[in-house]
Structure formats: structure tokens, C-alpha cells
């Protein structure tokens, strides 16, 4: 019989907890600026109580599953990476048990590794990918370190990471390209995005086309408010091209995102001739953690 589930997506800087009914409905949500980097040694049972203790009291018989950086070397316990190809059952079987302050067991999900020429890792995104329920397809999870994954016959066969968000922050805030940048208006944002996507398709590569964020402004061909959108679109365009080169071609990309991030990636994928199916991160997490929890022995 299905049980209620308390699930935490516990990252480096934040933790999000949900209480999920037997039918998969999210009954309660909690969010805290209490990521793993703020938890002292041996402090995770107390941190769990602070974040989700009231959910435990509301549903004392719920299973408890934790995902994300809580399973890293700097987390509660290191849940080792499962090498790809990895099925949902293999991911669930590699979960590590920990004990809450009152002796109740909880399971920390592992991350995944991929060794396709360059060694790569993910931790937390695997739960969202499982939540898509794909038999075959390509998934994209945008972010600071975007993840793209190839799913074949229900198994995550390989994936690749792209430092898109982090590189954008460095270029936009800490490089010479930031000197002429201004806050964008709606018109400037659209213009910068269009020029950035066009530049991403030109020969010369990222190191050449990134400088256009400065030279186009100096030439009077791009307003300062378009610099940020230009860089964002340029980087996303190169990310998409890199992912297709590594994972192969697909007519549809399953995008796990919401808000402005979903909008920008949908536009970039459309410019590359790709259709998208969008799933919110919460919906993917809830579906994925329920699927993995069903394969955990308790």
C-alpha cells in the first residue's frame, strides 16, 4: 500500500520540503534558507526537525526521502554516485539510510555519474528526470549548472553538464563585458535575445561571439540594456548546440523549468528548431521522488 511521503530537496543554500499524500497530492510545503552549508557537523537531525518537524508530526507514519546535496560529501552522509546507465530501480536501491533524532529512518537518494570521455556528475536532478516518466527522450534542466540527459527504455543512459548560469554571472558582473551593460527594458531584452541567438549560430565559437556584447554597443548597434539578454541567449544557444552534439538529435526536448527561465529556454529551443514539453520543477520532483520511494525497502 502507498504511504504518505515527506520529501526534501535539500541543496547547498536552501531546503524545500513537501508532504505528499498516498495519491500524490502535495498537502503541505516548507522552504528554508538552511542548505547543507549552514548545517554544523552532526547537526542534520536537528536541521531536519527545524525544516520539516511539523510535517512529521502531522503525518507520523509517512516515509521520508531526501534528495540533492544532502547526500554529498559535505552533507548528512555521502550517498555514492550510481554510474550510468541507471534505471529508477537502480537509483532507488542505492539509497542510504540515516536516522532522525527520534530514531526514525530516512533515505538519502544517490547522485549519478557519467563517464563518456569526460567524467560528469549530478545530484538531485536525477529525481526530476525520473519524474518525467520518459521511456525515450532528452531532458533539459536549466540552472547554474544545466543538465541534459538522454533517456532510453526508461533508463538514464548518459548526461552532460553545462556551466551556463555560472558563466553568465561571471561575464555579466565581473568581466569587461559588464562595463557598458544597463538594466534591460522589454524592448532591449527582446533585441538582445534575438541578436544573442543569431550570434550563437555563427562560426567563431563562444569566445569570439561573447565579445560582441561590448563591440556591438560601442558601434551603436546594440543598447546597453541588451547586453545581459544578449549574453544569456548566446550562452543558452551554445549550450543547446553542445548538448545536441553530445546526446544526439531529438525533435522534442523535455524542459524542467518555470517562469522566466522556462520562457528563455523555450525561445532558444524554438530558434534551434526544437519543440518543448515543459514540466515544473515541483511537479517533476514530486513524481520522481514518489517513483523512487516506491522502490526503496523500508
Q: Could you tell me the residue ranges of all domains in the chain?
A: 5-133+282-293, 164-279
Q: Extract long-range pairs of 269-276: CB within 8 Å, 24+ residues apart.
A: 269/140, 269/240, 271/197, 271/237, 272/237, 272/240, 272/241, 272/244, 274/240, 274/250, 275/251, 276/252
At 185, the pLDDT band (50, 70, 90 cuts) reads: confident
For the stretch 28-81, pLDDT in tens is: 999 999 999 999 989 999 999 999 999 999 999 999 999 999 999 999 999 999
**Is there a shared CATH topology between the 5-133+282-293 domain and the 164-279 domain?**
yes
For residues 143-162, average pLDDT: 98
Q: Is the pLDDT of residue 2 over 80?
A: no
- Secondary-structure class of domain 164-279 per CATH: alpha beta
Distance CA 188, CA 169 (A): 19
How high does pLDDT run on average in the chain?
96
- When pLDDT is averaged across residues 91-114 and rounded to a whole number, the result is 96
Q: Please report the pLDDT score of residue 117 as a whole number.
A: 85
Residue 183 half-sphere exposure toward CB, CA atoms < 13 A: 0
pLDDT digits over 110-133, tens only? 999 999 889 999 999 999 999 999
Q: Report whether pLDDT(85) > 70.
A: yes
Q: Where are the alpha helices (DSSP H) in the chain?
A: 44-58, 88-93, 125-131, 164-174, 186-200, 205-209, 212-218, 227-247, 259-271, 281-293
Rounded-to-5 percentages of helix, strand, coil across the chain: 40, 25, 35
Residue 294's pLDDT is 93
Please list, residue by residue across 71-97, b when 16 or more beta carbons sit within 10 angstroms of its beta carbon and e when fewer do. bbeebbeebebbebbbbbebbbebbbe
Compute CA distances 248 → 90, 153, 205, 241, 256, whole Å.
Answer: 24, 16, 20, 10, 19
- In the structure, what pLDDT confidence band is assigned to residue 297 with cuts at 50, 70 and 90? low
Superfamily of domain 5-133+282-293 in the CATH hierarchy: 2-keto-3-deoxy-galactonokinase, substrate binding domain (3.30.420.300)
Residue 247 in grid coordinates: 546526446
**pLDDT more than 90, % of the chain:** 95
Give the pLDDT score at 1: 54
Amino acid at each position: 500500500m502507498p504511504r504518505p511521503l515527506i520529501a526534501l530537496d535539500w541543496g547547498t543554500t536552501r531546503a524545500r520540503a513537501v508532504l505528499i499524500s498516498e495519491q500524490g497530492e502535495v498537502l503541505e510545503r516548507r522552504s528554508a534558507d538552511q542548505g547543507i552549508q549552514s548545517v554544523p557537523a552532526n547537526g542534520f537531525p536537528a536541521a531536519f526537525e527545524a525544516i520539516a518537524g511539523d510535517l512529521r508530526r502531522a503525518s507520523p507514519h509517512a516515509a521520508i526521502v531526501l534528495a540533492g546535496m544532502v547526500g554529498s560529501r559535505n552533507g548528512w552522509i555521502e550517498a555514492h554516485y550510481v554510474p550510468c546507465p541507471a534505471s529508477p530501480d537502480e537509483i532507488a536501491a542505492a539509497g542510504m539510510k540515516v536516522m532522525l533524532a527520534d530514531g526514525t529512518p530516512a533515505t538519502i537518494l544517490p547522485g549519478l555519474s557519467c563517464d563518456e570521455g569526460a567524467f560528469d556528475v549530478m545530484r538531485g536532478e536525477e529525481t526530476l528526470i525520473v519524474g518525467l516518466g520518459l521511456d525515450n527522450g532528452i531532458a533539459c534542466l536549466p540552472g547554474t549548472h544545466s543538465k541534459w540527459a538522454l533517456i532510453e527504455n526508461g533508463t538514464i543512459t548518459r548526461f552532460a553538464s553545462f556551466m551556463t548560469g555560472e558563466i553568465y554571472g561571471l561575464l555579466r558582473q565581473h568581466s569587461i563585458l559588464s562595463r557598458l551593460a544597463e538594466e534591460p527594458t522589454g524592448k532591449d531584452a527582446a533585441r538582445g535575445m534575438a541578436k544573442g541567438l543569431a550570434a550563437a549560430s555563427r562560426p567563431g565559437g563562444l569566445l569570439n561571439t561573447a565579445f560582441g556584447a561590448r563591440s556591438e554597443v560601442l558601434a551603436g548597434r546594440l543598447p546597453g540594456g541588451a547586453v545581459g539578454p544578449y549574453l544569456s541567449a548566446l550562452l543558452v544557444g551554445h549550450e543547446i548546440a553542445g548538448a545536441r552534439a553530445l546526446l544526439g538529435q531529438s525533435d522534442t526536448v523535455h524542459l524542467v523549468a518555470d517562469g522566466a527561465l522556462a520562457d528563455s529556454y523555450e525561445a532558444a529551443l524554438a530558434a534551434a528548431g526544437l519543440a518543448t514539453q515543459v514540466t515544473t520543477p515541483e511537479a517533476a520532483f514530486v513524481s520522481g521522488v514518489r517513483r523512487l520511494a516506491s522502490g526503496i525497502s523500508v
